[in-house]
Chains A and B, each alone.
Chain A
Amino acid sequence: MTDSSVPVSPEARPVSPDVGELFLAFVKVALSGFGAALPWARRMIVDQKQWMTAQEFNESFALSQFLPGPNVVNFSVVFGARFAGVPGALAAFLGLMLPPVVIVLILGVLYAHFGEMAALSRILSGVVCAAIGLLIATVAKMAKPLFTQGWDWAPLIAIAAVVGVAILRWPLPYVFLGLAPLSIALAWFKKAGP
């Protein structure tokens, strides 16, 4: 393990990962990340392997967040492609997805057989409550910069999305296509304003 505080110049960085290393690295990220895989991906790629600087990581991750779909899955593709093209992208994707899918399916099979069991049902009731708490924490973390940067219109857009999706139960594409252009237009005027 390497001390993350030591600055690494590009020349000092070790060689790029090959396809096998990419696969194994993302297997490790997948299996250590509960809830969110991002902190683990950062620790492995920036701190331990030093395949990217912190800034390169942030830029690649910003791209993954900018696109629709699961962020860390997008990131695995962007990261793998950067070092080893299409095979690299496939290796990173499979490393990230295969072990968790196998594990979750084993749990799914157990649930299909024992889901009626009162004990399992009670455990899951407790876990659901914790999982809702985790979602609320995610929302709070995302909302923090909105208040410090003075995006006064942003809460209205967020509330409209909540009403459309959770209260009125409209399909996500309708809500998204209704709100995203408006939100982007507001962001544009805010940026153009004083």
Chain B
Amino acid sequence: MTGNIGGNVLLTMAGYFASLSLFAFGGANAAIPDMQRISVDVMHWMTAKEFADTFAIAQMSPGPNVIIVALIGYHVAGLPGAGVATLAMCGPTCVLAFVVSRVWDRFKAARWRVVLQNGLVPVALGLIAASAIVIARTADHGLVAVAITVVTAIVAFATRLNPMWLFAAGGVIGLSGLV
């Protein structure tokens, strides 16, 4: 954590996360690569390993994946940073959701809405796949590490097992020193 919390870094984070949120089609996981790019490569807020750890902690925690921004904000500027990052990431799209929900029924069956949605799905899909790649690049590449990833992917795809058990299994295997 930086010892000297200036208003500047809070403003930078607020502006960054607010604008990022408006492009986060596919949810917070679609925005992970850009968060990594900014936090590690551009602003040097943290190392790649710290970012991967931050991602892991956010995934292990209950609740929406977007809480990763609270962790990034905390790492950069303590509790004020956590609050600013979270509100900046959620505020604009929540207001948008509120406004659109008031007029949504009118457009529910509109053709352009279906087209828009169909067009956005492949982009969101690519962005989430990019998240997996960006994080995987900084993770371990041993046989056991890859095995955990593959087994988790198959189990999560084919069953409705609570992901908590998969994280727990990954954590225990990691602790044992096999990864």
Contacts and interface: CB of A to CB of B under 8 A. Distances in A.
Interface residues of B, number: 110
Given A128-B140, A187-B116, 14 more contacts: A32-B62, A37-B64, A60-B101, A63-B97, A100-B64, A104-B71, A108-B74, A124-B56, A124-B57, A142-B124, A161-B127, A172-B20, A173-B23, A190-B118
Interface stretch (A1-9, A10-18, A46-54, A70-78): A70-78
B50 to A, nearest CB: 7
A157 interface: yes
A169 to B, nearest CB: 6
B81 to A, nearest CB: 11
A149 B96 CA distance: 30
Given A68-B24, A108-B74, A166 B33 contact: yes
A64 B104 CA distance: 11
Given A81-B101, A154-B122, A70 B60 contact: no
10 closest A-B pairs by CB: A126-B174, A100-B63, A161-B126, A133-B152, A69-B93, A130-B170, A184-B119, A35-B163, A137-B156, A158-B126
B149 A133 contact: yes
Given A122-B177, A183-B123, A161 B130 contact: yes
A109 B1 CA distance: 10
B65 A70 contact: yes
Contact of A171 (B37, B129, B135, B170): B37
B14 interface: no
Interface in B82-125: 82, 86, 89-90, 92-94, 96-98, 100-102, 104, 108, 111, 113-125
A72 to B, nearest CB: 5
A138 B119 contact: no
Interface in A133-147: 133-143, 146
